[in-house]
Amino acid sequence: MAGLTLNHFLVLGLILFLLGGYCVLARRNAIGILLGIELILNAANINYVAFSFYGGQAAKYDGQVFAIFVIMLAAAEAVIGLAIVLAIYQNLRTIDVSATESLSG
């Protein structure tokens, strides 16, 4: 790992986080938005693992365990998300979020 420092990973995490945020804001497609959320979660994962790796003995495994839990919950969230998107598709015949406007005001 010559030349790689904590900062490299943090910048990578930040870039992923911003890309995820952009994806959520810019996409109109529900699946695209779910993908953006996954990017945000992975940005956090990179931070946890990097802090854990460079953070010394006290928290050696905490960050890695956190990352594993986040991966698991991201899967659970994707399952529920896709089920809801499927139900929306059956009702509306589209998964464009701008079509979901019967609730507003």
- Options 22, 69, 94, 98; binder of another protein; rule CB under 8 A: 69
Separation CA 60–CA 54 (nearest Å): 9
Strand partners, 29: 96
Separation CA 99–CA 43 (nearest Å): 30
Please count the residues of the chain. Answer: 105
85 binds another protein (CB under 8 A): yes
- Options 92, 93, 94, 98; binder of another protein; rule CB under 8 A: 92
Separation CA 66–CA 62 (nearest Å): 6
Where on the chain is the footprint of another protein (CB under 8 A)?
10, 13, 17, 20-21, 24, 30, 33-34, 36-37, 40-41, 43-44, 47-48, 50-51, 55-56, 58-59, 62-63, 65-66, 69-70, 73, 76-77, 80-81, 84-85, 87-88, 91-92, 97, 100, 102-105
